[in-house]
Structure 1
Amino acid sequence: MRTSIATVCLSGTLDQKLAAASEAGFDGVEIFEPDLIASPESPEAIRARADELGLSLDLYQPFRDFEGVGPDLLEHNLRRAGAKFSLMNRLGIETMLLCSNVGTARSGDEQLAATQLRELGELAERFGVRVAYEALAWGRFVDDYEQAARIVRLADHPRIGVCLDSFHILSRGHDPQAIETIPADKIFFVQLADAPILSMDVLSWSRHHRLFPGEGGFDLAAFMGHLVRTGYDGPISLEIFNDTFRQSDAASTAVDARRSLRLLEDETRAWLGRSSRGRTEQMTARPLPVVEPPADINYVELRTDAIDEMRTLLAQLGFAAHGRHRTKSVELWSQGAARMVLGRPETQPPPPTVAGIGLSVSNPDAALRRATDLFAPEIHRPEGPGDESLVGVRAPDGSEVFFGLEGSTEPKWVREFPVPDQPGAELVERVDHINLAQPWQHFDAGVLFFHSVLDLRSQPSMEVAAPVGLVRSQVLRAADGVVRIALNLVPSGAHDDAILPQHIAFASTDVLALARQARERGFHPLDIPANYYDDIEARYDIEASLLAELKELNVMYDRDEAGEFLHFYTQAIGTVFLEVVERRDGYEGYGALNAPVRLAAQYQQRRDAEGVPA
């Protein structure tokens, strides 16, 4: 599969965009006209720079408002087109994108449009270039790809074909199956974009909310499967209009883009396998290494300067101290199968507080191969004599993900720490979920990373009200629900650490007993306002004695059709806090209705600590 990316997807100058695309491993790029116009380099210099970087220049775009016009305007449009064709010759680009008319068309007559496209084809013939006609979802008369293909067929010119854009097709709810009726030699170009499923006008949706494949809600594997069946073997290009991407680091955005296409290639292969019709496709879709989702969260590593406070907190919650690693400046705390590795930051800038996650997998080497095949950078755990070999990769936010061998016994690496005195009754079983606050530029990349690398499935995103704005949250989880990772998007303009510290939630067999024991050890939970308990008393039929105990211990409560959820929060220590949860009778949620109360309580806690008046 030949890969391409439109320069509009990336931030920076045109030269920086070309360099980022090349470094990420793209085969080619689309030149977005405003990027060329703003460049100080000549078309010839840009062509030479692309050659130097090993990039083909695949498309010049966009050319607008051509067809469906009167004779005078047609003459003007042909003059415009001739100038662009000449420019394309200087750039060495063979294909131009023609968008369906949105502004100047006065007729929807398909035969008129075809006749005018044929004239454009004759002009293109003189310059040795091609025109790919695209139906914009908001085109004045042409807004459907089947209609665009019909007009191209009527034009009947070898220099006129179609451009298929997944956003324009899927955002309007058009069925992509009819792509298979278009001859491959008439599909001149293909552009891909995913997007969240939103209820808004399609133009705004397109201009600001497109995403890379795998980050949104479109079924792009089916779209690609129908395309492959045509025999098309040209570039597969990303055209993503997204405000965040155009402000983010171009190099990391380009890597995320390549990761999205690599995942889509694998998903397309799987779709074709499920929907085989005994046809031989021209485009090769390569499989990724097959891995099972992780069996559990083996450990969580925290890097914090507030290590003394974290030790105290873990001891209050009943965790046992193993002491310091025999060769590394980290220590281990455990309770049940929940393991916390603590250390101080050793780099500048420091890593996220949740600096590492260890996952138990059936085949660590296969998990690593899949991750690196998806362009995740491999990292190596420093090993001393006798240390277990762990393999891992770096996530987009800078944290580390390591793969350890799945097993029913204690992981071998635990033996690298001293054996602690065993605590009393262990009320914590394991890590229930990890909640990672994501800077604005990493949220969508984080969703794609955990979905593609770990084969975790995205749950519907939601927004939660906080005192400083709306917090977007998205959970990714394994099918059995044992591994759950929630990503939270810090509100725009908010101070990341103050508003959304990261947190780790532990699964408990008895939250109330643990909360009471922790209090006896000096634990002070996050204070929950009395108004909250008045509300849940009205909302749920809760026994009076249970309600009183919840209120006394600052334990929160939720209920769904399956069961009940009891949970409490610690106060934040630096940029992290802990949660203990108890799921009863198959409850699967996270207490979503309680999240605004928790966020407000944390906000108030920080203001109180800073001495800010209420």
Structure 2
Amino acid sequence: MSTVEQTTTGRGLQDYMPLNGVDHVELFVGNAKQAAYFYSRAYGFEVVAYSGLETGVRDRASYVLRQGRIRLVLTGALHSDSPIAEHHRQHGDGVKVIALSVPDVDHAYREATTRGAEGVAEPHDATDAHGTVRLATIKTYGETLHTFVGRGGYPGPFLPGYEAWSDGSTDTGMLLAIDHIVGNVEHMDPWVKFYEDVFNMKEMLHFTDNDISTEYSALMSKVVADGKGVVKFPINEPAEGKRKSQIEEYLEFYEGPGAQHIAVATRDIVGTVAELRKRGVEFLDIPAAYYDEVPQRVPEVAPQLDDLRTQGILVDHDDEGYLLQIFTKPVGDRPTVFFEIIERHGARGFGDGNFKALFEALEREQDRRGNL
């Protein structure tokens, strides 16, 4: 029996799909070079690697950005008839690959495909002068993929086929790691079951349309996570409402299921958001009245209430602590992909106490776009 097969969860049960965490997230974009400039200058990432014509790759250009433990890969097509160009034509800028670091790629792929996942690329080695990385890929919702990554001691700048690259940007240290990635789908339960069956994930939280609703719209959401709580995937579906929900708007403009937002952790959300605003990042507007009840709901944040109000940061708590969070406006032309900045102080939740304020803010933006 391999070391992977012997891995157990915190409950003492066998975990047939141990995960180390999110290795990287790859977005297909319309212009990778310009997107890299935007994410480095606006969000404080450092451009660290490149793959394209100059490295012998003929169909795409990819830039790798790093900040803390976050890796983003921005990929654009070099020909109009490529699958990358077709993906962008249909979906606009969007997440194509959520790559997961695993102890054993062959084991992960075998377990995933045996338990119902559709394979895209069987386990294989990618090798260059730096060494070898083991990779395999499966499908998930929409056209999104999960790639299993086994790096071992690979010391290269990213993956074989990439060269170290710098455009003068630096890692600002504002953002530390990926906290969770949210998927929007037409029907939630089949995909929750997919992650339970294929990844041995467990349902952490379940929000109904009564929990997440406003006067006009509603949605339902379930959160699945691996045994260690390192990888967390909230899955959303639209619910019946008077008007179009933000999930319906996403599905319409993304033209199908996909990753709605990437939540990234920070240690200093007030300072980070202030700096991101200076760099041109746009955030949802929160009414000043929201902060009237914050000291009663979460007394721990009373000393910094003025700063939170100034920056429009939301506050929530659970039995284990509190969290601070804020949401950007969509990062592209389509009202689809956006980012969440989150600072946790023990809380394991996802800001359910903020749902009404958040969704009303989203609806105001929808109304401005004529999509409510």
* Same fold flag (TM > 0.5): yes
SS of the residue 2:341 aligns to:
strand
Helix, strand or coil for the counterpart of 2:158? Answer: helix
Distance 1:499 1:437 in 2: 8
Question: C-alpha displacement at 1:336, in angstroms?
Answer: 1.0
Give 1:360-509 correspondences, 5 Å limit. Answer: 360-380=101-121, 386=128, 388-405=133-150, 413-414=158-159, 416-420=162-166, 421=168, 423=170, 425-440=172-187, 443-463=188-208, 464-466=212-214, 468-492=216-240, 494=244, 496=247, 498=249, 502-509=260-267
8 A contact 2:204–2:223 mirrored in 1: yes
The reply to whether residue 339 of structure 1 matches residue 71 of structure 2 is yes
3-state SS, counterpart of residue 531 of structure 1: helix
Q: Which residue of 2 aligns with 1:512?
A: 270
1:369 deviates by 0.5
Q: For the structure 1 residues 315 and 454, does the alpha-carbon distance in structure 2 shift closer, same or farther, using more than 3 Å as the test?
A: farther
The CA distance in 1 between the partners of 2:86 and 2:293, in whole Å, is 46
Is the 1:361–1:403 contact (alpha carbons within 8 Å) kept by the matching residues of 2? Answer: yes
**RCO comparison, higher one (Cα < 8 Å, 6+):** 2
C-alpha contact (below 8 Å) 2:66/2:72 kept by paired residues: yes
1:298 equivalent in alignment to 2:23: yes
Question: What TM-score, normalized to structure 2?
Answer: 0.76
Among 539, 559, 578, the residue aligned to 2:339: 578
Q: Which runs of 5+ in 2 are unaligned?
A: 1-12, 77-83, 252-258
How many Å separate the matches in 1 of 2:154 and 2:279?
30
1:607 matched residue in structure 2: 367
RMSD: 3.2
CA shift for structure 1 position 602 = 1.7
Partner SS for 1:606: helix
SS at match of 2:367: helix
Question: What's the CA shift string for 1:212-262, capped at 9, x where partnerless?
Answer: xxxxxxxxxxxxxxxxxxxxxxxxxxxxxxxxxxxxxxxxxxxxxxxxxxx
- The answer to whether the 8 A contact 1:391-1:404 is kept is yes
Q: Secondary structure at the match of 2:86?
A: coil
Change (3 A) 1:534 1:290: closer
Secondary structure in 1 aligned to 2:164? coil
For 1:205-284, what aligned pairs fall within 5 Å after superposition? none
Q: Is the 2:314–2:326 Cα contact (8 Å) retained in structure 1? A: yes
Q: List aligned pairs for 1:526-541, cutoff 5 A.
A: 526-541=284-299
**Conserved? CA contact 1:510–1:582, under 8 Å:** yes
Q: How many residues align?
A: 322
Q: Distance in 2 between matches of 1:306 and 1:532?
A: 38
Alignment partner of 1:522: what SS? coil
Q: Report the residue type matching 2:307 in the other structure.
A: E
Instruction: Name the residue aligned to 1:589.
Output: 349
Quick one: structure 1 residues 378 and 579, their matched pair in 2 at CA, closer, same or farther if it must change by over 3 Å?
same
**Which has a greater percent of strand?**
2
Aligned residue runs from structure 1 range 316-331, under 5 A: 316-322=42-48, 324-326=50-52, 327=57, 328-331=60-63
Return the letter of the residue paired with 1:343: T
Residues 61-97 of structure 1 deviation map (CA, whole Å, 9 limit, x = unaligned): xxxxxxxxxxxxxxxxxxxxxxxxxxxxxxxxxxxxx
Amino acid corresponding to residue 299 of structure 1 in structure 2 = H
TM-score w.r.t. the length of structure 1 is 0.48
Residue 385 of structure 1: how far off its partner (Å): 7.1
Offset, 1:309: 6.4
| Alpha-carbon distance change, 499 to 378 in structure 1, aligned in 2, over 3 angstroms | closer
Q: CA deviation at 1:447?
A: 0.8
SS where residue 329 of structure 1 aligns? strand
Q: Which residue of 1 aligns with 2:254?
A: none
2:214/2:359 contact within 8 Å kept: yes
Structure 2 SS opposite 1:481: coil
Alignment of 1:536-547 (within 5 A): 536-542=294-300, 544-547=302-305
Query: How far apart in 1 are the matches of 2:153 and 2:292?
Result: 44
Measure the CA separation in 2 of the matches of 1:411 and 1:483: 25
Contact 2:263-2:342 at 8 Å conserved across structures: yes
- Structure 1: gaps spanning 5 or more residues: 1-273, 275-288
The change in CA–CA distance for 1:518 and 1:361 in structure 2 (over 3 A counts) is same
Q: Secondary structure at the match of 1:490?
A: strand
Q: Which AA in structure 2 matches 1:577?
A: F
In structure 2, distance between residues paired with 1:303 and 1:454? 25
**Is the alpha carbon distance of 1:600 and 1:581 closer, same or farther for their aligned partners in structure 2, counting shifts above 3 Å?**
same
CA distance in 1, matches of 2:354, 2:153: 35
